[in-house]
Amino acid sequence: MVIFQKSYIKGKNMEKNREIDNREFEQTITKMLELLGEDPSREGLLKTPSRVAKALQFLTEGYHQDPKEILNQALFTSSNDEMVVVRDIEFYSMCEHHMLPIIGRAHVAYIPDGKVVGLSKIPRIVNVFARRLQIQEQMTEQIADAILNTINPQGVAVVIHARHMCMEMRGVQKINSTTVSSALRGLFKSDQRTRSEFYNIINTPAPSNF
Ligand code: ZN
């Protein structure tokens, strides 16, 4: 009973804090609209500050998620030691320099060493890191290391192809240029045949009925 009351009070306080944070957040967006030369009181913009605040909170919710906890929820003992590949995982992130979208696909592979993870957790791990302010290379490494340090596999490989709106919408305006980054750990780094097998798998076009 005491514990219940304590957590109840704690929950209420947290909610109150979040309300204050949201208000401050919305006021900041209102100020931003003014600085852009807009009139935040016009009809179309009335709800914009609260919408932007909510959208940004959703797009950065990865800060409040623990990749280890997610992987540990679905970790199973297995004698399988064949390569597991989850390819074409779509993600949406934001660059940490301009807070503009990064739109991409991730390919993730690992070779188990006594433990496998539920397949649905791999896209979730990609999202944990995508929903933060990012640079592509760092995100690629973070995904690889989260898997390496939790599943302890014989190897991990992550390849990311992405388009950066900060390049396409502004600056050099190179439309449709893709940036590729990779992080290879364990067998994927030391064994050329493992690496080629992985690249063959991710470079083979998906069957058309998929
Ligand atoms: Zn950028």
Output the six-digit token pair for 57. Answer: 């909170």
Alpha-carbon span 108 to 120, nearest angstrom = 12
CATH number of 67-203: 3.30.1130.10
- Taking alpha carbons only, the member of 45, 165, 158 closest to residue 103 is 165
Q: How confident is the model at residue 5 (pLDDT cuts 50, 70, 90)?
A: very low
User: Which of the two residues, 29 and 16, has the higher pLDDT score?
Assistant: 29
Compute the distance from residue 92 Cα to the ligand 1 centre, in Å.
Answer: 14
Q: What is the pLDDT of residues 108-163, one digit of tens each?
A: 999 999 999 999 999 999 999 999 999 999 999 999 999 999 999 999 999 999 99
Alpha-carbon span 180 to 200, nearest angstrom = 16
Instruction: State the catalytic residues.
Output: 95-98, 136, 164, 166
Report the percentage of the chain scoring pLDDT > 90.
80
At 169 the three-state DSSP class reads coil
Query: Taking the model in full, what pTM does it have?
Result: 0.87
Which part of the chain is CATH 3.30.1130.10?
67-203
Alpha-carbon span 102 to 129, nearest angstrom = 12
Q: Are 149 and 70 in contact (CB under 8 A)?
A: no
CATH number of 2-59: 1.10.286.10
Report the percentage of the chain scoring pLDDT > 70.
87
Which part of the chain is CATH 1.10.286.10?
2-59
Predicted pLDDT of residue 8: 43
| Per-chain residues with Cβ under 5 A from ion ligand 1 | 95, 97-98, 166
Q: How confident is the model at residue 170 (pLDDT cuts 50, 70, 90)?
A: confident
